[in-house]
């Protein structure tokens, strides 16, 4: 199964991984592609890659889920990151035709870091 790593710098970060996902597909790929992150404090979304919107997403996650006050924090101090990642989701499925992702004009595949900085693994699977 093709995979690649994503390195993030901040606690909350959004990285466009569209080109890396498409590069992981065979040139003649047909079907659907599932992009999955194997971590409980990161996620994958499809949306517009516009720097203000990416900042808005990070700010919204920080606003919706406060840093402190969670029971899980007694274990490892990052419950907020787990809850944020649950809201985002761990995968997306995109149609593929002739080796190309069939995304809309403004759609990109975005990796969302909720507990960085870290190095994460993203899986790409064709069905």
Give me the residue spans of the domains in the chain: 3-126
Answer whether residue 77 shows pLDDT above 90: no
Residues 6+ apart with CB under 8 A from 19: none
Q: Are 111 and 6 in contact (CB under 8 A)?
A: yes
Sheet holding 100-101, edge to edge: 3-7, 119-126, 31-37, 91-97, 100-101
- Give DSSP secondary structure letters for 32-87: EEEEEE--TTEEEEEE---HHHHHHHHHHHHHHS-SS--TTHHHHS-HHHHHHHHH
pTM over 0.75: yes
Confidence of residue 126 (pLDDT cuts 50, 70, 90): very high
Q: Are 14 and 121 in contact (CB under 8 A)?
A: no
Answer whether residue 95 shows pLDDT above 80: yes
Domain 3-126, what fold? Jelly Rolls (2.60.120)
Query: What distance in Å separates the CA atoms of residue 36 and residue 123, rounded to the nearest whole number?
Result: 5
Tell me: the pLDDT tens digits for 10-62? Answer: 999 999 999 999 999 999 999 999 999 999 999 999 999 999 999 999 999 99
């Amino acid at each position: 199964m093709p995979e690649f790593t994503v390195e993030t710098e901040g606690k909350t970060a959004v990285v466009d991984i569209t080109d890396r996902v498409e590069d992981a597909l065979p040139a003649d790929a047909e079907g659907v592609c599932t992009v999955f992150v194997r971590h409980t404090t990161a996620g994958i979304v499809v949306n517009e890659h516009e720097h203000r919107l990416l900042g808005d997403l990070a700010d919204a996650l920080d606003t919706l889920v406060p840093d402190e006050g969670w029971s899980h924090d007694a274990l490892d101090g990052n419950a907020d990151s787990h809850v944020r990642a649950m809201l985002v989701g761990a995968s997306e499925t995109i149609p593929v035709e002739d080796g190309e992702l069939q995304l809309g004009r403004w759609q990109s595949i975005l990796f969302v870091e909720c507990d960085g900085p870290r190095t994460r693994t993203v899986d790409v699977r064709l069905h």
